Chains A and B, each alone.
Chain A
Amino acid sequence: MATFKEFRNNVKPNWCPGCGDFSVQAAIQRAAANVGLEPEQLAVISGIGCSGRISGYINAYGLHGIHGRALPIAQGVKLANRDLTVVASGGDGDGFAIGMGHTVHAIRRNINMTYIVMDNQIYGLTKGQTSPRSSEGFKTKSTPEGAIETTLSPLEIALSAGATFVAQSFSSDLKQLTSLIEQGIQHEGFSLINVFSPCVTFNKVNTYDWFKENIVNLETVPDYDPSNRVMAMTKLMETNSMITGLIYQNKTKKSYENLVSGFREEPLVSQNLSLTESEFDKLVAEFR
């Protein structure tokens, strides 16, 4: 069985020293090993942005696509080969700005895969513009007088859209993050994990220390029940989403692949493509 080291490759990430994304990379590698995967059984599909480069830093099948479209690409991969473990990942701009439409519908569709968002509340690769996750008043190159648009609450949106697995973590907490990714992979259906992953270069407000002071780990909240959707929504609203841990999980809803008519256990990619002559004749006869 593969160890987490086998999910490493020798590529040096082009992230800034101290970037939160390093821990996310390590957590994915550890989680993949912990759930018993071999590198070729994992496909990491990423978007564009600093964090989008992650698919190139893990020894697994990886596709670095176009901005905002990691999710539809990843869903296509999973439908083609349901034996693969599919992880989509990217930044908050990728998933909650340009790709928000796909995020909501991927949640609704509930294909069995995991989406990890590295949320740094800013656009890093384009050198510091506002993101939908930026706090109101946050000054960036594109909001020199402070952001005036409302900060998006993607996890509230996820719950509203019918998410079956919603979690949040912080890149400093490697143990929690690894465990949540494992749970996400093992969850039947679409799992969303938002990770506070500080940008040390362009975000001087939402820093490691700031998160440490402001986030609450749900494990410390007595009687928190992640199977209770109302409680999850209430908690997100009460805390302005500043919580980490498993926020919500619905273990009863079947994944898309298990609901879609005629879909087989055997991955599509290994099935025979040819129609027999009698199958073809029958199809043609409908046009006579």
Chain B
Amino acid sequence: MINQLSWKIGGQQGEGVESTDRIFSTALNRLGYYLYGYRHFSSRIKGGHTNNKIRISTTPIRAISDDLDILVAFDQESIDFNAHELREGGVVVADAKFNPTIPEGTKATLFAVPITAIAEELGTSLMKNMVASGASWALLGLPLEVFNKAVEEEFGRKGPAIVEKNIEAVRRGAEYVLELAGGPLEEFKLEPADGKQKLFMIGNDAIALGALAAGCRIMSAYPITPASEIMEYLIKKLPKFGGTVVQTEDEIAAITMAIGSNYAGVRTMTASAGPGLSLMMEAIGLAGMTETPVVIVDTQRGGPSTGLPTKQEQSDIHALIYGTHGEIPKIVLSPSSIEECFYDTVQAFNLAEKYQVPVILATDLQLSLGKQSCEELDYNKIVIDRGNIATEIPDREDGSLFKRYELTESGVSSRALPGTKNGIHHVTGVEHDETGRPSESPVNRIHMMDKRLGKMDKIEVENPIHIQGSHEEPDLLIIGMGSTGGTIDQARVHLEAEGIKTSHMTVRLLHPFPVQEVLPHLQKAKNVVVLENNATGQLASLIKLNVGLHEKINSVLKYDGNPFLPSEVYSESKKVLSDGPSAQKLSEELV
């Protein structure tokens, strides 16, 4: 019995890779296994190799695996492209249609199943996904009833006849492969899962659900990979709660519309990726200058320009923090798990209104799109805090304007929403006085700059960093953000097993940088590795800028478009420990 397994399906984009993965993993989730998915795809809809990999485990995991146990291939390219990942004793289930072969030297077993032929016999080649997932399921020796229930739910809407046909496809796939293999494969028999109910979702789902729970009722956005799932979810759900998604003409309209509706009092968000964020920068400055709350999601992908639009990267960090011209207060939060994607979105709306600043929620492609198990989300943890909004405003008999930007100790002033009696004031991106009227007075300028920027010193965010495996004096401190957390955790366990005292820090609050929390950990550590998916070490620079200790900080960088593998984190960390400080550019070595 094993406690974890990795499975991959590959084929041409558009031929059922996604749906095979979806139905197979949904059924596994029902059994209570922990799952972690990774999508390899290109910026096209039909054609081109694509593959989805999932890791199945009886205990929580948040990283892709180094190797592969089972590969399901719809074409020879999928075998050729992925065979190197197969471990010795692995299995390839391939469509007999293309007379599959496995590359010389691959110590795996090939089962050629007439996937297309069975599907066509049952009426349509579209059912390839059912035959393939049925075969996979059968090899693992898992109960077929659970799988059939998932099929029923997937196709229930299309009527019992369709459900029957799909279940038959699953049965035929299972039957065929079991005959070839002589029954379920003992070495792939998974220990039973804990049976605990878990959610199975991508980070973008969690963000969208978080927004809905936070009271976001308008989203204005422009489609872009890898952010679009957020708007697609809200397009389905917001109308049920009186709200709406506006698909705008561009990202500038998306952010400015969001600023308009936040100004008018409705929690509104937008979501995009690097190119969209670049377009939004001027407007983010307007939000900062006018102290208008707004939540912006940046699902980071490979840059610059169009870059690698469907690949992993964490290279927007500096742009998000410093992108606007001039100086504004702003919060940049970086969730590192599906659960955090949910709770941090709720918190982002609260922080935006509490401090009246733009809040950017920065994920990365792997966190946004990798489907994974998620603990149950706690309704009782959802708190909506609208901050300081004036409802009853007394009449000022002198006819003066409401002091929307009143100078206060906290730097935060009361908002009067349009429509409120006696609340009329002006709002402008021009430097302004307490009532919002333009002012070029040097004294006023200093007061207003200090008011706005002073908020940065007062921003309080609970748990700005996470620490795993805390040691009083670690030999090694590995620092990361976003989706790299699970990978670092896994490498950490490996390093610890060798007696290397290893701590792991995840930076959740990128801006304002949590110096007080980060500094002591760096001081105590003998060696520090900052691990990130970019070429210039942006997180490392941020730490150096805020914390110092330059000589201690080593960068491990990967920018080939793929997430770190646990083995890479392990080996690069070992290299730092043996060779001493130097920037490790992983991608060069791989090429």
Q: Nearest CB to that of A62 among chain B residues?
A: B426
Q: Are A80 and B260 in contact (CB under 8 A)?
A: yes
Closest Cβ of chain A to B271, distance in Å, is 15
1/0 per residue B185-227: CB within 8 Å of A? 0000000000001111100010001001111011010000000
Q: For A73, list chain B residues within 8 Å (CB).
A: 256-257, 259-260, 263
Q: Are B264 and A76 in contact (CB under 8 A)?
A: yes
CB interface residues, A 262-279, toward B, < 8 Å: 262-264, 266-269, 271, 273-275, 277
Q: Nearest CB to that of A46 among chain B residues?
A: B428
Contact A269 B419, CB 8 Å, known A11-B437, A56-B426, A77-B264: yes
Q: Are A72 and B265 in contact (CB under 8 A)?
A: no
Closest Cβ of chain B to A130, distance in Å, is 23
Closest Cβ of chain A to B384, distance in Å, is 6
Contact A43 B424, CB 8 Å, known A66-B286, A273-B215, A284-B199: no
Interface size on B, as a range, is 35 or more
Q: Are B240 and A79 in contact (CB under 8 A)?
A: no
Q: Nearest CB to that of A61 among chain B residues?
A: B418
Q: Quick one: which of B252, B268, B418 has the most chain A CB within 10 A?
A: B418
Among B29, B217, B262, point to the contact of A271 (Cβ < 8 A): B217
**B178 close to chain A: CB less than 8 A:** no
Q: Are A269 and B266 in contact (CB under 8 A)?
A: yes
Q: Nearest CB to that of A284 among chain B residues?
A: B377
Q: Nearest CB to that of A261 among chain B residues?
A: B239
Contact A80 B261, CB 8 Å, known A43-B418, A66-B283: yes
**B423 close to chain A: CB less than 8 A:** yes
CB interface residues, B 322-379, toward A, < 8 Å: 374, 376-377, 379
Q: Are B263 and A77 in contact (CB under 8 A)?
A: yes
**B438 close to chain A: CB less than 8 A:** yes
Closest Cβ of chain B to A67, distance in Å, is 8
In the docked arrangement, what's the CA distance between A205 and B237, Å?
Answer: 55
Q: For B126, list chain A residues within 8 Å (CB).
A: none
CB interface residues, A 75-132, toward B, < 8 Å: 75-81, 83-84, 101-102, 104-105, 109
**B469 close to chain A: CB less than 8 A:** no
Q: For A60, list chain B residues within 8 Å (CB).
A: 424
In the docked arrangement, what's the CA distance between A270 and B309, Å?
Answer: 39
CB interface residues, B 377-393, toward A, < 8 Å: 377, 379, 382, 384
1/0 per residue A50-70: CB within 8 Å of B? 000001100111111110010
Among A64, A79, A262, point to the contact of B246 (Cβ < 8 A): A79
Q: Are A273 and B259 in contact (CB under 8 A)?
A: no
Q: Are A79 and B266 in contact (CB under 8 A)?
A: yes
Q: For B108, list chain A residues within 8 Å (CB).
A: none
Closest Cβ of chain B to A259, distance in Å, is 10
In the docked arrangement, what's the CA distance between A266 and B582, Å?
Answer: 61
Q: For A268, list chain B residues within 8 Å (CB).
A: 217-218, 242-243, 261, 266
**B152 close to chain A: CB less than 8 A:** no
Q: Are B243 and A262 in contact (CB under 8 A)?
A: yes
Q: Are B239 and A64 in contact (CB under 8 A)?
A: no
Q: Are A76 and B419 in contact (CB under 8 A)?
A: no
Interface size on A, as a range, is 35 or more
Tally inter-chain residue pairs, CB-CB below 8 A. Answer: 192
In the docked arrangement, what's the CA distance between A203 and B71, Å?
Answer: 72
Among A64, A76, A77, A261, point to the contact of B426 (Cβ < 8 A): A64
Among B376, B418, B427, point to the contact of A40 (Cβ < 8 A): B418
CB interface residues, B 427-470, toward A, < 8 Å: 427-430, 437-438
Contact A79 B424, CB 8 Å, known A105-B248, A263-B242: no
Q: Are A72 and B424 in contact (CB under 8 A)?
A: no
Q: For B572, list chain A residues within 8 Å (CB).
A: none
Contact A287 B419, CB 8 Å, known A66-B283, A262-B244: no
CB interface residues, B 249-305, toward A, < 8 Å: 249-250, 252-254, 256-268, 282-283, 286, 290
In the docked arrangement, what's the CA distance between A81 and B268, Å?
Answer: 13
Among A76, A83, A267, point to the contact of B268 (Cβ < 8 A): A76
Q: Nearest CB to that of B349 among chain A residues?
A: A273
Q: Are A63 and B242 in contact (CB under 8 A)?
A: no
Q: Nearest CB to that of A81 among chain B residues?
A: B264
Closest Cβ of chain A to B195, distance in Å, is 13
**B110 close to chain A: CB less than 8 A:** no
**A213 close to chain B: CB less than 8 A:** no
Q: Are A80 and B268 in contact (CB under 8 A)?
A: yes
Q: Quick one: which of A74, A84, A284 has the most chain B CB within 10 A?
A: A284
Q: For A223, list chain B residues within 8 Å (CB).
A: none
Q: Are B437 and A56 in contact (CB under 8 A)?
A: yes
Closest Cβ of chain B to A10, distance in Å, is 8
In the docked arrangement, what's the CA distance between A64 and B200, Å?
Answer: 45
Q: For B218, list chain A residues within 8 Å (CB).
A: 76, 79-80, 268
Q: Quick one: which of B197, B215, B252, B425 has the most chain A CB within 10 A?
A: B252
**A221 close to chain B: CB less than 8 A:** no
**A185 close to chain B: CB less than 8 A:** no
Among A10, A77, A266, A284, point to the contact of B209 (Cβ < 8 A): A284
Q: For A280, list chain B residues within 8 Å (CB).
A: 213, 379, 382
Q: For B286, list chain A residues within 8 Å (CB).
A: 65-66
In the docked arrangement, what's the CA distance between A102 and B30, Å?
Answer: 47
Q: For B109, list chain A residues within 8 Å (CB).
A: none
Contact A260 B244, CB 8 Å, known A39-B424, A63-B427, A64-B426: yes
**B140 close to chain A: CB less than 8 A:** no
Among A40, A83, A275, A287, point to the contact of B205 (Cβ < 8 A): A287
Q: For B246, list chain A residues within 8 Å (CB).
A: 75, 79, 109
Q: For A109, list chain B residues within 8 Å (CB).
A: 246
**B144 close to chain A: CB less than 8 A:** no
Among B29, B263, B438, point to the contact of A56 (Cβ < 8 A): B438
Q: Nearest CB to that of B258 among chain A residues?
A: A76
Q: For B401, list chain A residues within 8 Å (CB).
A: 9
Q: Are B379 and A79 in contact (CB under 8 A)?
A: no
In the docked arrangement, what's the CA distance between A284 and B268, Å?
Answer: 21
CB interface residues, A 30-48, toward B, < 8 Å: 38-41, 43, 45
**A209 close to chain B: CB less than 8 A:** no
1/0 per residue A237-265: CB within 8 Å of B? 00000000000000000000000111110
Q: Are B374 and A287 in contact (CB under 8 A)?
A: yes
Q: Nearest CB to that of B285 among chain A residues?
A: A66
In the docked arrangement, what's the CA distance between A38 and B88, Å?
Answer: 78
Q: Are B244 and A102 in contact (CB under 8 A)?
A: no
Q: For B419, list chain A residues within 8 Å (CB).
A: 40-41, 61, 81, 83-84, 267, 269
Q: For A269, list chain B residues within 8 Å (CB).
A: 264-266, 417, 419
In the docked arrangement, what's the CA distance between A268 and B268, Å?
Answer: 11
Q: Are A63 and B424 in contact (CB under 8 A)?
A: no
Q: Nearest CB to that of A38 among chain B residues?
A: B421
Closest Cβ of chain A to B238, distance in Å, is 7
In the docked arrangement, what's the CA distance between A277 and B241, Å?
Answer: 14
Closest Cβ of chain A to B396, distance in Å, is 13
Inter-chain pairs besides A40-B419, A61-B418, A63-B263, 13 sampled, C-beta below 8 Å: A56-B426, A66-B256, A72-B253, A76-B268, A77-B260, A80-B262, A81-B418, A84-B264, A262-B238, A269-B419, A273-B215, A287-B205, A288-B30
Show 26 residue pairs from A and B whose CB-CB distance is below 8 angstroms, ordered by the A residue: A10-B399, A40-B419, A41-B419, A55-B426, A56-B437, A60-B424, A61-B424, A63-B290, A72-B220, A72-B257, A73-B259, A73-B260, A76-B258, A76-B262, A76-B268, A80-B268, A81-B266, A101-B250, A101-B253, A102-B249, A105-B248, A260-B239, A262-B241, A269-B265, A274-B215, A281-B379
Residues of A within 8 A of B (CB): 9-11, 38-41, 43, 45, 55-56, 59-66, 69, 71-81, 83-84, 101-102, 104-105, 109, 260-264, 266-269, 271, 273-275, 277, 280-281, 283-284, 287-288
